[in-house]
Amino acid sequence: MNRDEYVQNFKARIDRWNAEAAKLEARAREAQASARAEYEKQLAQFRQRRDHAMKEMQRIQAASVDAWRELARGADAALKSMQEAFDKARTSFDRKK
């Protein structure tokens, strides 16, 4: 996979998570106050990790052809962290349905 393909794949994953997060945000708005605080906390963690992943992606886009693979390792870790935060948020929402 070359850098452009990697970045395109990276963006697609973030876009899918953003779409799913929007659904969770809608559920959070409809939740009772006691559950809403926990939902907002989980979503905030997701957003923070998403923002970190986006910064990593921007670094890859700006990197030289030789350096992007090294940066991709850090970006992969950021994606994994983002996935974990999203899974945790979704699990929290599903438990409190």
pLDDT in tens, 26-56: 888 887 877 788 888 888 888 888 898 888 8
Assign 9 a pLDDT band (cuts: 50, 70, 90): very high
Domain ranges of the chain: 3-95
Distances (CA, A) of 51 to 18, 78, 96: 11, 9, 26
Angle at 19 between CA 75 and CA 21, to 5 degrees: 80
| Predicted local distance difference test score (pLDDT) of residue 97 | 58
